[in-house]
Structures are given as C-alpha cells and as structure tokens.
Amino acid sequence: MTGFLDGPLYFLERPRPGVLDPALVRTETEHAALLFTTAGGAGAHLGVLPAGTVVSRADDFREKEELLAAVLARGAGDLWLDAAPGGDPARTYPARRALEYVRSFRRQSACL
C-alpha cells in the first residue's frame, strides 16, 4: 500500500521563496493533498489552476518528508493519488501515516 512512497512524487505548487506550498483539494468535509506518480498526471491539472502553478518533484525521503509535513501543516488529512482533473483519485492514503512511513526510512527503522 505504501509503494507509491518509494518512487518519485509529483505535486502542484505555486513557488514562493523559502515556502513549500503544495496544492490542496477542498471539499465540504475535508482537505486533501493532490499527489501524482507521474509528471504527466500532475501536469494535466495545470490548465485549471491559477497562473504560476508548477509541477514539482520530491525524489528522496528528505524531500518527501518536507512535502508531507507541509500538507499536514496546511490541514490535509488524506493524500489523493493520481486524480484526473475534475475526477476522483485513483486511491487515497492517510497523510499522517505516509509521513510516519517516510520518517521511518529516514531513521532506518522501517517495518516492512
């Protein structure tokens, strides 16, 4: 279930100096982070987002930890993976659990 965390993650953001600002989906009941396993999946959303939004990539576990900490700090409870524009995600995953998994690898204490 966490295999998506082992490869690169792509996300949408509006770059600001010194601030990681990943795009969130806001529904009536939750906030979720949009994450993608391909750059093309993320790029498909650029046409419906504000100008200046870019596709960014998190490769290593340090970058992924920073990304996941940022989405949690912004109030996201879940990760929406590989959602099509205007569509449902291919799968969802709890953001806090993903962060714990990534941190376990950084500490070399991952339990597979």
The 3-class secondary structure across the chain, one letter per residue, is CCHHHCCCEEEEECCECCECCECEEECCCCEEEEEECCHHHHHCCHHHCCCCCEEEEECCHHHHHHHHHHHHHCCCCEEEECCCCCCCCCEEEEHHHHHHHHHHHHCCCCCC
Q: What is the pLDDT of residues 21-75, one digit of tens each?
A: 898 888 888 889 999 999 999 999 999 888 999 999 999 999 999 999 999 999 9
Considering only 13-22, 48-57, 76-85, which range has the smallest mean pLDDT?
13-22
> Where does 3-106 sit in CATH, by number?
3.40.1350.90
What ranges do the domains of the chain cover? 3-106
pTM of the model: 0.89
